[in-house]
A and B are shown apart, each in its own frame.
Chain A
């Protein structure tokens, strides 16, 4: 029981790191980016290559995955995404789905369609046993890393100058521009950072979520659930939503395995009907 809770929290934390970049881009630019999962996949494969083939230690592999995906995100943002921001939602959906298709096929071509595994160091395998709760070491690592990241993000968002600029831009883009905030630059940085986080999440999650070329399609819906349920106006909303989703999904798969993800989708639809702006959105939304 508590082990399920523990696994669920680890899973939820992972989802949060994967999806929080998406929630910011969506809130900031009102841009529907279905290709977010592709960056997570890029991070995962990047780790597989550098850890398994080049023999870089796993602990070093994670930050490298972050940097590589962030660079990739910045590149795509500057060359492709900028052209699509002002287009209608239909165009954004088509564009990003197209990117997902390309990413899936390209990964299949380069890396093969079979599932990939990251070699995790011995020290991180196995379980602790605390008060009768089995805690996987690796999952504990995920919780610690993701928890620290969350605190860091919260800190950046609330304490730094960049954070206040970002919040201003999310709240009201036009006024923010009027105050002299360069929303384009803020957005590009945020996009790169969000992609980097997704890449890091993909690298960490390769072990738990599985990593194969269909990853972006498989988990796209999960990221979107986190964002739509959590709302886009804060970081705590998506965080709580991911934890809920993680626990719900793990528990659902454990207790009613045959129903699969049905429970999750049902919950999502109900939540969206009751609160179309998201579960934790501030009531004074735009």
Chain B
């Protein structure tokens, strides 16, 4: 191993190390199971939303693909999980979940070739178009999907044959949280790998990335497919934990809300989606109790204000807070940025 490759490997390892703050975050996340026993339903929704936001962050924050159609993958897998549970084809929720993710990933792979063409606007239209087409298809075959009334009569078998989905949603929440954690670890691995670095360089400048030998197209296909898989797992989780699935899973609102979640939390770092989901969910819950019918107005206002104030300014605030926290834990950020800069 030449000294440089050694440096690079050490740099990557160093970057990928779990910081104490991250560990604390996850300890707290799992502690909520005992801390807030009455709030399982909203906590579970938050976990699912966080996973969904994580999937969008992978393509938007890391690869720079603007998408309004992430709901397509969420929805297709949701229906898949609902249908296999309803007709008793696959009784084990975990297997159904994984297969749902694969179905969504397959769709993501196929559509990725459409998305990689054209400008931002074209991408926006194509991603939106795909999810709207699925909406129409689900609406068309309402004898299978239940149409506008939603998929009724889904009975999900106990997880691993032991843990039943109870009325209070405790097992559902624990299940969602574990799935979120596992997916997070995988996403983290992807992001901190050399593959993840190459994605960042593509986002920075696709032309230059291609010039240094990164296969831009295939990297984007790969990450788009993976993100679709994560979105699919989130969709299947929602169906399994609520035993219900409706056309609403494909709606534009869902994709738009997701963007908001990610913007609140910050794009381009993995905790953005998670933190954004927590803030968004509690914001929504709070506003919905104040004005049940018009909460959308305030969500819209938040979006407009965020943009007018400047996303980067909020991002800077975010970063400052993170740096302060890291400082408090005796660990400095940013970590050594350049590889082999001593020489």
Binding site for B on A (CB under 8 A): 26, 32, 80, 83-84, 87, 89-91, 93-95, 97-106, 108-109, 217, 220-221, 224-225, 228, 258-262, 265-266, 268-269, 272-273, 276
**Do A89 and B121 have beta carbons less than 8 Å apart?**
yes
Q: Bound state CA distance, A17 and B84, in angstroms? A: 47
The segment out of B126-134, B187-195, B217-225, B328-336 that lies at the interface is B126-134
CB distance from B70 to the nearest CB of A (A): 13
**Do A104 and B296 have beta carbons less than 8 Å apart?**
yes
A103 contacts which chain B residues (CB < 8 A)? Answer: 300
**Do A217 and B252 have beta carbons less than 8 Å apart?**
yes
B130, B132, B308: the one contacting A83 at CB < 8 Å is B308
**Do B300 and A273 have beta carbons less than 8 Å apart?**
no
A262 contacts which chain B residues (CB < 8 A)? Answer: 133, 136-137, 140
**Do B297 and A272 have beta carbons less than 8 Å apart?**
no
Q: Bound state CA distance, A220 and B125, in angstroms? A: 11
Say yes or no for B263: interface residue by CB 8 A criterion. Answer: yes
Interface centre among B252, B263, B300, B306 (most CB of A within 10 A): B300
Q: Bound state CA distance, A91 and B122, in angstroms? A: 16
Which residue of the partner chain A has the closest CB to B297?
A: A105
A89, A97, A228: the one contacting B256 at CB < 8 Å is A97
**Do A109 and B129 have beta carbons less than 8 Å apart?**
no
Per-residue A-contact encoding for B300-324, CB less than 8 Å = 1, 0 else: 1111101110010000000000000
Which residue of the partner chain A has the closest CB to B253?
A: A217
**Do B132 and A265 have beta carbons less than 8 Å apart?**
yes
Per-residue A-contact encoding for B269-309, CB less than 8 Å = 1, 0 else: 00000000000000000000000011111011111101110
CB distance from B279 to the nearest CB of A (A): 16
Q: Which 6 A-B pairs have the closest CB atoms?
A: A98-B303, A101-B300, A105-B297, A276-B118, A102-B300, A95-B307
Given that A93-B66, A105-B297, A265-B132 are contacting pairs, would A272 and B303 also be in contact in the complex, using a CB cutoff of 8 Å?
Answer: no
Q: Bound state CA distance, A26 and B129, in angstroms? A: 19
B136, B259, B306: the one contacting A260 at CB < 8 Å is B136
**Do B130 and A269 have beta carbons less than 8 Å apart?**
yes
Instruction: Kindly identify, within residues 122 to 164 of chain B, every residue whose CB is under 8 Å from any CB belonging to chain A.
Output: 122, 124-126, 128-130, 132-133, 136-137, 139-140
B114, B130, B296, B307: the one contacting A101 at CB < 8 Å is B296
B66 contacts which chain A residues (CB < 8 A)? Answer: 89-90, 93
**Do B294 and A94 have beta carbons less than 8 Å apart?**
no
**24 pairs of residues in contact across A and B, judged by CB atoms under 8 Å:** A32-B121, A90-B259, A91-B311, A93-B68, A93-B259, A94-B303, A95-B304, A98-B302, A98-B306, A98-B307, A99-B300, A100-B300, A101-B296, A101-B303, A102-B297, A102-B301, A105-B295, A224-B128, A225-B125, A261-B132, A262-B137, A265-B136, A268-B129, A269-B133
Interface centre among A224, A259, A269 (most CB of B within 10 A): A269
Q: Bound state CA distance, A228 and B124, in angstroms? A: 10
**Do A91 and B136 have beta carbons less than 8 Å apart?**
no
B60, B119, B128, B293: the one contacting A221 at CB < 8 Å is B128
B133 contacts which chain A residues (CB < 8 A)? Answer: 262, 265-266, 269
Say yes or no for B199: interface residue by CB 8 A criterion. Answer: no
Which residue of the partner chain B has the closest CB to A257?
A: B140
A105 contacts which chain B residues (CB < 8 A)? Answer: 294-297, 300
Q: Bound state CA distance, A93 and B125, in angstroms? A: 12
Given that A102-B300, A105-B297 are contacting pairs, would A90 and B306 also be in contact in the complex, using a CB cutoff of 8 Å?
Answer: no
**Do B306 and A94 have beta carbons less than 8 Å apart?**
yes
B252 contacts which chain A residues (CB < 8 A)? Answer: 217, 220-221
A100 contacts which chain B residues (CB < 8 A)? Answer: 300
**Do A259 and B140 have beta carbons less than 8 Å apart?**
yes
B296 contacts which chain A residues (CB < 8 A)? Answer: 101-102, 104-105
**Do A98 and B114 have beta carbons less than 8 Å apart?**
no
A87 contacts which chain B residues (CB < 8 A)? Answer: 307
**Do B299 and A272 have beta carbons less than 8 Å apart?**
no
**Do B125 and A95 have beta carbons less than 8 Å apart?**
no
**Do A108 and B293 have beta carbons less than 8 Å apart?**
yes
A108 contacts which chain B residues (CB < 8 A)? Answer: 293-294
CB distance from B281 to the nearest CB of A (A): 17
CB distance from B56 to the nearest CB of A (A): 11
CB distance from A260 to the nearest CB of B (A): 5
B130, B137, B297: the one contacting A109 at CB < 8 Å is B297
CB distance from A94 to the nearest CB of B (A): 5
